[in-house]
Amino acid sequence: MRLLLNENVPRQLKRHIADYEVYTVREKRWNGKLNGELLQLMLAEEFDALITADKNLQHQQNFDKYPIPVLVLHTYRITYEDFKPLIPRLLEFLKTDLPNGATIIKT
């Protein structure tokens, strides 16, 4: 499974999902891309899912146009320490058949 970590997700999260092929937006040199453009690039490069902290993405994008799963990590602050409690739930979701569109992951 090919996963992309959005710019708003701490890159340290990558080491916790090392069983998958994981890239950061920075590694792909897609920094600053708008969400629609980012989703288009992901589809073109056959990514399987986006991991993000952008809670508004689900309201801003048409997932009929961009049929890709988006795992939204729900935290109040965007720090690695705040994301750590979500890692077990994220790993469980990654083992399932992910639906297209946004799936909110919170504690």
Mean pLDDT of 13-30: 95
pTM: 0.92
Determine the Cα–Cα distance for residues 34 and 83; give it in Å rounded to an integer.
Answer: 23
Residue 29 pLDDT greater than 90, yes or no = yes
Q: Find the Cα–Cα–Cα–Cα dihedral 33, 41, 38, 87, rounded to 10°.
A: -130
pLDDT attached to residue 107: 77
- Asked whether the beta carbons of 73 and 49 are under 8 A apart, the reply is no
pLDDT attached to residue 59: 66
Mean pLDDT of 74-100: 93
Mean pLDDT of 25-37: 92
Strands of 49-52's sheet in order across:
21-24, 2-5, 49-52, 69-73, 101-105
Determine the Cα–Cα distance for residues 60 and 77; give it in Å rounded to an integer.
Answer: 21
> How many C-beta neighbours within 10 Å does residue 45 have?
12
pLDDT attached to residue 55: 84
pLDDT tens readout for residues 64-76:
788 899 999 999 8
- Asked whether the beta carbons of 62 and 16 are under 8 A apart, the reply is no
Q: Sorting pLDDT into bands at 50, 70 and 90, what band is 78?
A: confident
